[in-house]
Chains A and B, each alone.
Chain A
Amino acid sequence: MNTSLPSTPQRQQRTSRWISTAFSLCALTAIALFFIPAFIIRPFHYQAPRALLIAMALRQRAPLGTLIAALACFAFALALWETAGRWRRSILVLTLLVVTFSAVMARLNYFEWMFHPIAGPQFLAQSDSKLDAKEMIMAVRLGTDARAYPISQMAYHHVLNDVVGGVPIAVTY
Chain B
Amino acid sequence: MWTRTINGRELHFYVAGINNQNFLMRDKETGTWWQQITGKAIYGPLRGAALELVLSDELTFGEWRSESPAGQVLAPVAKYTKEYDSNWEPDVAKLPVVISFPWTELKSRDVVVGLTINGTARAYPWETFAKQSPILDRVSGTPLLLVLGPDGKSFRVFLSRIDGRETEFFLQDDSKSDTPAGKKDWSLLDTTTASQWNFQGCATSGPAQGKCLARIPALKDYWFDWRNYHPDTTVYRR
Residues of A within 8 A of B (CB): 41-47, 52-53, 55-57, 60, 109, 111-112, 115-118, 121-126, 129, 131-142, 145-161, 167-172
Contacts and interface: CB of A to CB of B under 8 A. Distances in A.
B207 to A, nearest CB: 26
Given A43-B18, A56-B33, A170-B25, 11 more contacts: A41-B17, A121-B75, A123-B72, A123-B73, A132-B61, A133-B61, A148-B59, A158-B36, A159-B25, A170-B2, A170-B51
A142 B72 CA distance: 12
B73 A129 contact: yes
- Interface residues of chain B: helix, strand, loop or mixed (majority): mixed
Given A56-B33, A151-B88, A168-B10, A139 B59 contact: yes
Interface in B21-75: 23-25, 31, 33, 36, 42-44, 51, 54-62, 64-65, 67-75
A168 B62 contact: no
Contact of B61 (A46, A135, A161): A135
A117 B26 CA distance: 13
A140 B56 contact: yes
B4 A140 contact: no
A131 to B, nearest CB: 5
Contact of A167 (B3, B16, B23, B42): B3
B62 A172 contact: no
B73 A134 contact: no
A111 B15 CA distance: 6
Contacts of B3: 167-170
Given A124-B73, A168-B5, A152 B14 contact: no
A159 B43 contact: no
B86 interface: yes
Interface stretch (B95-103, B113-121, B136-144): B95-103
Contact of B14 (A41, A55, A112): A112
B181 interface: no
